[in-house]
Chains A and B, each alone.
Chain A
């Protein structure tokens, strides 16, 4: 775009030296990953099978959903917390920060601006992490298959464990998807984190293809 002012924020990302409030001068490189520069690792399950089974049972029975309403599917999350469909019965909780959540519910279509935040949040979640893709839009673009701003297939950007079809899926469908996810975790088949680490290059290439302002570290813990 000829005159759009994208430059202002870009300048914030450049390397520079900053004077602190007490006169101290220090170098800042916003693009540098200060905590960890390592790419994601593949984690092997514990060699003790019964122990790993117990771990997986715990992982399945305590589900912390990230409270990030990425699309219109988020409107059916509220009824899940309320008396009619009470999902807390099944060990489902909501957490506001990605650091403490284990399940990411992508509520429907993801626009380009949102998918950038989705990737960041997903990478910040500690593993093993799972993704529930709700609504048709995450499967093939759904209603917005020809839109210029929404992605068509979510599994090209982050690994997906369970899909929920429908527009909009009923709360019962969401509860059922949680049960399916539990089953998969207990069987040890929900290894999205490892899949992401193994195919890291492919996922990154796909992500960079649509996000034109890649002003974030390649992997943010």
Chain B
């Protein structure tokens, strides 16, 4: 695995390599798809496990993760890249990877719908996959408050109290243990 990362480092500029809990490498946005292509075609990472995004709202960017699997080495390698986080209703844009794996299409459809990240060339990317006529902020973005939305829309039943479990249990159930551990 270290050898693969060395090979990659010769060709692409990696800003970060972590191997504490599985191998993850970070590259620049413009390199991401070509790096993934290289990993697939040369290093044998043929199996696309998932494509997903993380919303780092404080740093104002999206992290995209391509998780690849090498069936020969039986190891996973995550490729991270950061793209600019646009303010809704503007959409962030990323290059599509559907030409490498047909399965990537679905992940990109979901990312477009749930995060508002557009993949311009990906087939059917503009068609909704999960939601129907959603006209709010894409729900997986951190600035979308699902509790507020639910309370406004779906008639919450009265009498339901929500307690923060930490304080509730500290006061009611384990007064001593709770204090000890804080």
Contacts and interface: CB of A to CB of B under 8 A. Distances in A.
Given A146-B146, A153-B154, A113 B131 contact: yes
Contacts of B89: 1-2
B157 A148 contact: no
A156 to B, nearest CB: 5
Contact of A152 (B116, B128, B150): B150
B126 interface: yes
Contact of A140 (B116, B134, B144, B156): B156
Contacts of A118: none
B113 interface: yes
A6 B133 contact: yes
Contact of A148 (B113, B127, B139, B156): B139
Contacts of B112: 4
Interface residues of A, number: 28
Interface string B129-165: 0011111101100001011011101111100100000
A139 interface: yes
Interface residues of B, number: 30
A3 B126 contact: yes
B144 A148 contact: yes
B133 A151 contact: no
Contact of B132 (A2, A8, A112): A112
A212 interface: yes
A82 interface: no
Interface string A1-32: 11111101000000000000000000000000
B166 to A, nearest CB: 17
A73 to B, nearest CB: 18
Nearest to B153: A210
A212 B128 CA distance: 14
B133 A148 contact: no
B91 interface: yes
Given A140-B160, A148-B139, A213 B133 contact: yes
A141 interface: yes
B118 interface: yes
Contacts of B147: 146
Nearest to B88: A2
Given A3-B118, A212-B133, A212-B135, A146 B150 contact: yes
A148 B150 contact: yes
A147 interface: yes
Given A2-B91, A113-B132, A213-B133, A140 B138 contact: no
Given A113-B132, A146-B146, A212-B133, A152 B156 contact: yes
Contacts of A150: 154
Contact of A5 (B127, B135, B153): B127
Given A5-B126, A146-B146, A152 B157 contact: yes
Contact of B150 (A8, A116, A141): A141
Contacts of B139: 148-149
Contacts of B138: 1
Contact of B156 (A113, A141, A149): A141
A145 interface: yes
Contacts of A141: 150, 154, 156-157
B153 A209 contact: yes
B157 A139 contact: yes
Nearest to B158: A140
A5 to B, nearest CB: 4
Given A1-B138, A206-B155, 6 more contacts: A6-B128, A146-B147, A147-B150, A148-B150, A148-B153, A152-B154
12 contacts: A2-B89, A4-B127, A5-B128, A116-B132, A147-B150, A148-B136, A148-B144, A149-B131, A152-B157, A153-B154, A153-B156, A209-B153
